[in-house]
Amino acid sequence: MNLMYLKIFKTLAETENMAKAIKLLELSQPTINHNIYLLEQHYGAKLFDRSSKKLKLTRFGEVLMGYVTEILTLLERSEQHIATLVGEIHGDLFLGASHTIAENVLPKMMAMFNHDYPGVNIHLEVTNTRHIVDHILDEKLELGLIEGPVKNENVIGKSFMKDELVVVLPYSHPLSIKKNLTLKELSSLPFVLREPGSGTRVVMEDSLKSAGLDPSELNTVMEMGNTQAVIGAVEAGLGASILSALAVSKEIQLKTVKVCKIANVTIVRNFSLIFKKDRNLSPPCETFLSFIHAQETE
């Protein structure tokens, strides 16, 4: 079917007036009538009620209008997407990412993005959620990918991925044979934790509070500003931790740690994309946002 038939049909349906359609389409009335006739022949049904001054859709026309709108919208989106792939998007993109995301999510994502948009130069700062929010607000960073919640009226956040936190134990720890730990067992363990201000720490503390355990009651023997350092400390037997399941996937396979859950407690969080409210995002940033959401829906 000729795509022009659909464009003519949609314009005529929206204007309900032949004169307006002629002006918008820059086509003659006989041409428009002929194309509508061919469309009606194709479907074997009358699409317009011509009994009044206004051109009203019949019930068959209304059904077709829904599909035509969707088809033409998808076509426009495809044209916009292809246009970005031919080198139109270029420039610098200043990103901030918290450690878990930078180490376990971004590498593959950035490689795919770089393949599609080689003209974009990504500058990545890896730090904790608190610092990323600060740098979004002072516009040192344009976009942040964080683990913890943000409560700031000047920052807009959009979730893009779910993550679960689990208890991480040295592989040979006596409790590592259990699938679930009680809150009492949890409070008896020495803990190596991320530093205050990290997204992992904030989500962990909020979840434990909701479950009835004050995080201050944990036997915290060490705090570290890097997830890999925490994992290394757990592997060395210095304590347990609560970390993203994504962050310890390699260590689980290597059998240097074991993970378990907390009985009747599920710690699930959303990874979020954040940017400053009312800031006009650059084309590279807008493209990166669209790219991430496209990966999410695949």
Residues 254 and 174 in one domain: yes
Residues 145 and 292 in one domain: yes
- pLDDT, tens only, 34-52: 999 999 999 999 999 887 7
Residues 71 and 112 in one domain: no
Q: Which domain holds residue 215?
A: 164-269
Boundary residue ending a domain (30, 55, 88): 88
* Model pTM score: 0.59
Residues 264 and 172 in one domain: yes
Quick check: 267 and 186 in contact, CB under 8 A? no
DSSP 86: I
Residues 80 and 126 in one domain: no
Boundary residue ending a domain (24, 57, 88): 88
Number of domains in the chain: 3
Residues 126 and 207 in one domain: no
What band does 298 get if pLDDT is binned at 50, 70 and 90?
Answer: low
Residues 265 and 168 in one domain: yes
Residues 78 and 96 in one domain: no
Q: For 239, list phi and psi in degrees, rounded to 5.
A: 165, 180
Residues 202 and 105 in one domain: no
Residues 95 and 45 in one domain: no
Residues 251 and 168 in one domain: yes
Q: For 238, list phi and psi in degrees, rounded to 5.
A: -80, -15
The domain that contains 43 carries what CATH number?
1.10.10.10
Distances in whole angstroms, Cα of residue 12 to Cα of each of 70, 76, 103: 16, 19, 54
Supply the pLDDT for residue 172. Answer: 93
What band does 55 get if pLDDT is binned at 50, 70 and 90?
Answer: confident
- pLDDT, tens only, 162-202: 899 999 999 999 999 999 999 999 999 999 999 988 888 98
- pLDDT, tens only, 105-116: 999 999 999 988
The domain that contains 96 carries what CATH number?
3.40.190.10
Non-local (6+) Cβ contacts of 85 within 8 A are: 116, 117
